Structure 1
Amino acid sequence: MRYGAALDLRFPESIGEFVEFLADLGLRHVEIRQGYLDVHPEAPTPRELREIAESTDVTYTFHAPFRDANLGNLNESLREATVRGVTRTLDAALAAGAGAVVVHGGSVPRRYPDRVRAHARQQAVRSLRACARHADDIGTHLCVENQRWKRARVRHTETPERLAAFLDEIDVDSEYLGVTVDVGHAKVTGVDPAAFVERFGDRIRVCHLHDNDGTADQHDVLPAYESVAERVGAEYNVLEMKSLDDVRRCVTG
């Protein structure tokens, strides 16, 4: 099991500085957000990331675009653009030697009529099917994340049952289509992460670790992250914090 943290677009540190910070805490994994690569003035290339990994023994996962990106977009040209964004992240992850790419499953406003919500779900299914086939073609794991329940939007992956039905509908028989369990999203949705473990078992490749008070997705410090991660059993375990100080507080107490 690898432990590390997510390199968010809010962080000004370079990848080298972030890796050094984690190493000082005994952590050896980085989840690289596509948003970070999109905006950081010194964003590394996949080749540079691979060189850093080889020289520091750090491992990577990537997180596909999710800010302003919706694989269930009702507009076909925007849906296709989002698919291209995910497949490019898969290609970058392969070149960097990353172990997986995390992806969100799409959403649609609850206020829309049933027929529109059904169409949005089919858009998301089509999108993930295309992304999963690309992942299979290049041999890179694509892991669909459980998203939290929101009053205003329908997500297709909020509970083990919804996520399982969604993956069944995508219907791509591949060892490279897996699951990311986000324990904070599960908590705010009112689901025990153990329910995801029971349902998906070895398909869970990535675990996102953070806490909240059950009312919102606050990404609070989770000092018991190791015991939580051990119950999930993912290979890659990622602290999703708002600051480096919060990452340090998780590790040092």
Structure 2
Amino acid sequence: MRFGAALDLRYEVPIDEFVDLVTGLGLDHVELRQGYLDVHPEAPTPRELRELAADRDLSYTFHAPFRGSNLANLNEPLREAAVDGVKRSLDTALAAGAGAVVVHGGSVPRRYPDRIRSIARRQAVRSLRECAVHADEIGMHLCVENQRRKESQERNTETPARLASFLDDVGVDSPYLGVTLDVGHAKVTGVDVAEYVETFGDRIRVVHLHDNDGQRDSHDVLPEFRQVAERIGAPFNVLEMKSIADIERCVAG
């Protein structure tokens, strides 16, 4: 099992400095946000990332675009662009030697009529199917994340049952299509982590670790993150914190 932290877009540090911080805390994994790589003026190339990982005995996961990107987009050119963004992240992750790419499953406003919400779900299924086929072809794990329930948005992955149904409809039978379990999203949605473990088992390849009060997705510190991760048993376990200081607090216990 690898333990590490996500390099959030809010962290004003270069990747090599973040790696130094993470490894200095005794961690050995970094999740790279595509949004960070897209905007950082000195973002390393995949080859440089691979060399950095080899030098520090480090592993990576990637997070595909999600701000402004929606696999359930009702507009076909925008849906295609969202798919292309995920495929590019898969290719970059492969070149960097990463272990998986995390992806969101798409959403649609709940206020829309049933007919529109059904169309949006079909769009999301098509999109993820295209991404999953590409992941299988290149041999890179694509892991669909459970998102928290929101009053304003209907999400395809907010409960174990919805996520399982979504993956069934995608219908790609591949060892490279898996699950990211976000324990904070599960908690704020009112779902016990054990339900995800029971439903998906070793399909869970990535775990996002943070805490909340059960009301807001506040990404609070989770000092017992190792114990939580041990209950799940996934290869890659990622602290998702709002600040570097919170990562340090988690590790300090």
1:64-118 CA distances to partner (integer Å, 9 max, x unpaired)?
Answer: 0000100000000000000000000000000000000000000000000000000
Matched, 1:129 2:138: no
Partner of 1:2: 2
Partner of 1:40: 40
> For the residues of structure 2 that align with 1:50 and 1:23, how far apart are their CA atoms?
16
Alpha-carbon distance, 1:44 to partner: 0.9
* Structure 2 letter corresponding to 1:159: T
Cα RMSD of the aligned pairs, angstroms, is: 0.4
SS in 1 for 2:248: helix
Partner of 1:64: 64
> For the residues of structure 2 that align with 1:216 and 1:130, how far apart are their CA atoms?
33
SS in 2 for 1:238: strand
Question: TM-score by structure 2 length?
Answer: 0.99
1:138-193 CA distances to partner (integer Å, 9 max, x unpaired)?
Answer: 00000000000000000000111000000000000100000000000000000001
> For the residues of structure 1 that align with 2:55 and 2:226, how far apart are their CA atoms?
26
> For the residues of structure 2 that align with 1:36 and 1:251, how far apart are their CA atoms?
23
> For the residues of structure 1 that align with 2:170 and 2:26, how far apart are their CA atoms?
38
SS in 2 for 1:124: helix
SS in 2 for 1:208: strand
Alpha-carbon distance, 1:24 to partner: 1.0
SS in 1 for 2:13: coil
Alpha-carbon distance, 1:60 to partner: 0.1
Partner of 2:233: 233
Partner of 1:212: 212
> For the residues of structure 1 that align with 2:12 and 2:116, how far apart are their CA atoms?
40
SS in 2 for 1:165: helix
> For the residues of structure 2 that align with 1:214 and 1:42, how far apart are their CA atoms?
38
* Structure 2 letter corresponding to 1:3: F
> For the residues of structure 2 that align with 1:112 and 1:161, how far apart are their CA atoms?
22
Matched, 1:83 2:58: no
* Structure 1 letter corresponding to 2:155: R
Alpha-carbon distance, 1:12 to partner: 1.1
Alpha-carbon distance, 1:15 to partner: 0.9
Instruction: Answer whether contact 1:93 1:101 (CA < 8 A) is retained.
Output: yes
**Structure 2 unaligned regions, length at least 5:** none
SS in 1 for 2:90: helix
> For the residues of structure 2 that align with 1:135 and 1:81, how far apart are their CA atoms?
17
Alignment of 1:85-124 (within 5 A): 85-124=85-124
Alpha-carbon distance, 1:63 to partner: 0.2
Runs of 4+ in 1 over 3 A off after TM superposition: none
Alpha-carbon distance, 1:232 to partner: 1.0
1:186-213 CA distances to partner (integer Å, 9 max, x unpaired)?
Answer: 0000000110000000100000000001
Partner of 1:249: 249
* Structure 2 letter corresponding to 1:229: A
> For the residues of structure 2 that align with 1:128 and 1:195, how far apart are their CA atoms?
23
Alpha-carbon distance, 1:237 to partner: 0.1
**Identical columns (%):** 73
> For the residues of structure 2 that align with 1:216 and 1:74, how far apart are their CA atoms?
28
Alpha-carbon distance, 1:8 to partner: 1.0
Alpha-carbon distance, 1:231 to partner: 0.5
Number of aligned residue pairs: 253
> For the residues of structure 1 that align with 2:62 and 2:181, how far apart are their CA atoms?
15
Instruction: Answer whether contact 1:12 1:40 (CA < 8 A) is retained.
Output: no
Instruction: Answer whether contact 1:59 1:98 (CA < 8 A) is retained.
Output: yes
Partner of 2:149: 149
> For the residues of structure 2 that align with 1:41 and 1:245, how far apart are their CA atoms?
24
**Structure 1 unaligned regions, length at least 5:** none
SS in 2 for 1:211: coil
> For the residues of structure 1 that align with 2:150 and 2:203, how far apart are their CA atoms?
25
SS in 1 for 2:71: coil
